[in-house]
Structure 1
Amino acid sequence: MEEKKTESATKNVKKVNLLDHIAIKHLLDESVSDIVTSRGYKEDVRLSNVKFLLGGIIIVVALVAQFYNKKCGICLLLDFGKYVVLTAVMQLILYIKEKNAILFTYPLEGSFTSTGLVVSSKLPRFSDQYTLTIDSADPQSISAGKSVQFTKSVTQWLTKDGVLVEGLFWKDVEALVKEYTEAGEPKKKR
């Protein structure tokens, strides 16, 4: 019985290769998404759906250009032009709207705010400093909250074996979400 408890506890452990900076960022980003959605925020996947649709159209255009009767050089040139334009639009969406975002959310149900959250993160190469930022999905909205962020070393949340100490990480991220929600609430007069 004791062996089963130990075995199930090791299955839930989130472990990462400490030499792989991309894997570390991915692990932390996935945990951030879990934490924010556990607080009642629902993920907004509209931008992801637009990217999938645009990516599908790009693939169809590329396939048509590849397998179309090549006797018409102008048609091939037009297909190539469509491919370039659609790819540029996709990159523009990624650059302008998505940036470093790992999660877009809808507003909390029953909340007075009309905007969701944009959660973004950075972990520069050759650095241990993880920056997590929470901002409003619509910064121009009157109900938009003030952007909050923290920058901390990943060594505060990862052991020397690469195991994520989830309790500490959850505490830090939940404190940041709480700071954002409290900063957006109007102050009560006494």
Structure 2
Amino acid sequence: MATNGGGAAPSPAPKKANLLDAYSIKHLLDETVSEVAKSKGFAEDARLSNRRLAVGSAVIAVALLAQFYPGKFPENRDVLLVCIALYAALNVVLQIVSYTKEKNAILFTHPPAGSFNRTGLVISSKLPRLSDMYTLTIASADPQSKSSGEPVHFTKSVTKWFTKDGVLVEGLFWKDVEKLIDDYNSDNRSK
């Protein structure tokens, strides 16, 4: 278990997670990764999540139309069939976007201001259910771009970043994430 931190963690109150809950640990680490990326000048790109919200709103609108369409069942049968088909199709679209675009992504970014790089980052993480090994991956948001770099990642045990009480030693984790972002940027510059 980690005992002290020697990094630049700008957190006034200690961040704590339930060490018996992998979701709690992953959520806390993912939030901290987002903070680190934003402190390095990467602004969040919310276009994909905004599109998902728009499709989700359309799903809700279709469900509301099916529920509150005036008329009794035999007369509104065609409207209900269209609503059911639209509801299913829009949910399939949401699942396809989640499976193909989002995967394990926790943050999509724009390139930093003043950067020559034209692509942002896709930061993703994994923490398998019965494992303590946290994997963080940084890749280009547009892998086909000439300015995109090779993805970089690390896999470490979460016990390196938490005390016995479940407090995140933010300085240690902050340093590891900053180093990974710097590794991605240096690989990208060397191209």
Per the normalisation by structure 2, the TM-score is 0.91
State yes or no: 1:47 paired with 2:48.
Answer: yes
1:56–1:124 Cα change, 3 Å: same
Question: Which residue does 1:14 correspond to in 2?
Answer: 15
RMSD over aligned CA atoms reads 1.2
Which has the larger displacement, 13-22 or 68-77?
Answer: 68-77
Question: Which residue does 1:4 correspond to in 2?
Answer: none
How far 1:48 moved relative to its partner?
0.8
Aligned-partner residue type, residue 24 of structure 2: A
Question: Which residue does 1:58 correspond to in 2?
Answer: 59
State yes or no: 1:124 paired with 2:117.
Answer: no
Distance 2:49 2:121 in 1: 15
Q: How does 1:138-153 map to 2 (within 5 A)?
A: 138-153=142-157
Distance 2:91 2:162 in 1: 38
Question: Which residue does 1:115 correspond to in 2?
Answer: 119
Aligned-partner residue type, residue 99 of structure 1: K
Distance 1:132 1:72 in 2: 51
Aligned-partner residue type, residue 57 of structure 2: G
Could you give the per-residue CA deviations for residues 151-186 of structure 1, whole angstroms, max 9, x where no partner exists?
000000011110000000000000000000000003
**Residue number among 169, 181, 187 corresponding to 1:183 in the alignment:** 187
Task: Tell me how many residue pairs correspond in the alignment.
Answer: 178
Structure 2 spans left out of the alignment, 5+ residues: 1-10
Distance 2:23 2:37 in 1: 21
Aligned identity (percent) is 58
How far 1:112 moved relative to its partner?
1.4
Structure in which a larger fraction of residues adopt helix: 1
Could you give the per-residue CA deviations for residues 41-63 of structure 1, whole angstroms, max 9, x where no partner exists?
10000011101111111001011
Q: Which has the higher contact order (CA 8 A, sep 6+)?
A: 2
Structure 1 spans left out of the alignment, 5+ residues: 1-9
Question: Which residue does 2:108 correspond to in 1?
Answer: 104
Could you give the per-residue CA deviations for residues 65-106 of structure 1, whole angstroms, max 9, x where no partner exists?
112133221210110000000000011001000100000000
Which has the larger displacement, 105-114 or 28-37?
Answer: 105-114
